[in-house]
A and B are shown apart, each in its own frame.
Chain A
Amino acid sequence: MSDRELQSLDGVITELRAPVPVRAEWRAGLLRGVAMLPPPGTMSTGLPGERHWRVRPLAAVAAGVACAVAGAALTALLLGRPQRAATSEDLTSLTATMPLPGEPIIRSTVRFLYVAPYAARVALVGDFNGWNPAAMPMRRSPDGRAWLIDVPLVPGRHVYSFVVDGDLAADPAAPRAGDDDFGIPSSVVLVTGAKT
């Protein structure tokens, strides 16, 4: 495209570059939405001896983690009965088990499990910990094949991933989050309320 050819569109480009007014109430709503989100996780705590995570930006943030559906099945297989995990059937009953306004929110413990016998370090990241790889390191199972962590979660839908030796990994047996960002592999767990 020559400069001369482009010059014929100068007026068009100038018009298109004109600022689009930002509505104050829309901006305020946007910032309120941000304030309602959990703080984004930091990649480093600065603690001595902490390992540097190799989480790449666009491939990024914490990915891969435990869908309790698969976690429950694998845990039952490897380690016995899981404590409490969501199943796909819970989807339809999820709203029915959500606490009503004024009711105490009862957290349900969900066991996340990832089979990685040769990994040196596995962590759980998700919207419940600000996608912070340092927040929830997983422990190796007694047989050394899998990595586990039990997390108390409020009822609802949670998106999560695993960080395996610094790389993101989705839970192969879990439903994928439909709103993956930048191809980040994210999984979903539905937690029902633990009504007493």
Chain B
Amino acid sequence: MTLPAFARVDAGSMTDAMLVRRVLDGDPRAFTMLVDRHLQPCLRFATRMLGSRHDAEDVTQEALLRAYRALAAYDPAGGFRTWLFAILVNRCRTSLLQRSRYVRRVVTDEDMMHNAVSGDDAGSTELRIEIERAVAMLDSDQREAFLLKHVEQLGYEEMAAVTGAGVSALKMRVKRACERLRDLLGEVNDVRS
């Protein structure tokens, strides 16, 4: 079978919905462009959410493969990022649930070191590890809401579409996550000083 010929795609000038349409019309290169556009935020969210780079890669890959398989179901009226994050959040929840059946969530220093962006001084890496550890100690629904709001910078309406939770509940989760983070990191700073 020969694929239809497509004109060269200028990814920068195409919206997500246009790229999706192109994939559905038989141009697989357009999905690569969608992947490259969304891979970094997806991987970042999964890494911060799961605390393990290895698990984050698995979950992100699974989410993108599922998105591709179900691409015909995507409604261009909604944002592609919202749709993709809904899948990703779902996979992260499943991963956490499966993990909790066997072992209590443990974030190792090795994970922390792996997650930390390399190339900085030791003090900066140490700070990152403390932050990651504090984030890992949040309840999963608070961590999820906090990361979506303040790291991925989604609006509350978009977060509601992604998580299935109500806006007021999400605001409360974010608020409690912030309070808990301040407490946790304050304790660390108190100990260090």
Q: How far is the CA of A13 from the CA of B151 in the complex (A)?
A: 6
Q: Which residues of A contact B181 (CB under 8 A)?
A: 9, 12
Q: Which residues of A contact B75 (CB under 8 A)?
A: 56-58
Q: Which of A57-108 contact B (CB under 8 A)?
A: 57-62
Interface residues on B, range: 35 or more
Known: A22-B40, A58-B86. 4 other contacts (CB 8 A): A27-B39, A34-B31, A34-B32, A181-B87
B174 on interface, CB distance cutoff 8 Å: yes
Once A39-B28, A182-B87 are accepted as A-B contacts, the answer to whether A20 and B43 lie under 8 Å apart by CB is yes
Please tell me if the beta carbons of A182 and B86 are within 8 angstroms of each other in the complex.
Answer: yes
Q: Is the interface of B mostly helix, strand, loop or mixed?
A: helix
Please tell me if the beta carbons of A182 and B90 are within 8 angstroms of each other in the complex.
Answer: yes
Q: Which residues of B contact A13 (CB under 8 A)?
A: 150-151
Please tell me if the beta carbons of A40 and B72 are within 8 angstroms of each other in the complex.
Answer: yes
Once A12-B181, A20-B115 are accepted as A-B contacts, the answer to whether A57 and B151 lie under 8 Å apart by CB is no
Q: Which of B53-75 contact A (CB under 8 A)?
A: 53, 56-57, 60-61, 64-66, 68-75
Max chain B CB contacts within 10 Å: which of A5, A15, A31, A55? A15
B25 on interface, CB distance cutoff 8 Å: yes
B18 on interface, CB distance cutoff 8 Å: no
Q: How far is the CA of A18 from the CA of B118 in the complex (A)?
A: 11
Residue from B32, B87, B135 within 8 A of A31 (CB atoms): B32
A16 on interface, CB distance cutoff 8 Å: yes
Q: How far is the CA of A163 from the CA of B74 in the complex (A)?
A: 16
Q: Chain A: which residue is nearest B58 at the CB level?
A: A26
Please tell me if the beta carbons of B182 and A8 are within 8 angstroms of each other in the complex.
Answer: yes
Q: Which residues of B contact A56 (CB under 8 A)?
A: 73, 75
Please tell me if the beta carbons of A57 and B74 are within 8 angstroms of each other in the complex.
Answer: yes
Q: Chain B: which residue is nearest A31 at the CB level?
A: B32
B96 on interface, CB distance cutoff 8 Å: no
Q: How far is the CA of A100 from the CA of B68 in the complex (A)?
A: 29
Once A9-B178, A34-B65, A181-B87 are accepted as A-B contacts, the answer to whether A19 and B44 lie under 8 Å apart by CB is yes
**Could you pull out 28 A-B pairs where Cβ atoms are within 8 angstroms?**
A1-B178, A12-B131, A15-B131, A17-B151, A18-B128, A19-B40, A19-B117, A20-B44, A20-B53, A20-B56, A21-B117, A22-B43, A23-B57, A26-B57, A27-B39, A34-B32, A34-B35, A35-B28, A39-B23, A39-B28, A41-B72, A43-B72, A58-B75, A58-B83, A131-B70, A131-B73, A182-B86, A184-B73
Q: Which residues of B contact A61 (CB under 8 A)?
A: 69-70, 72-73
Q: Chain A: which residue is nearest B45 at the CB level?
A: A20
B166 on interface, CB distance cutoff 8 Å: no
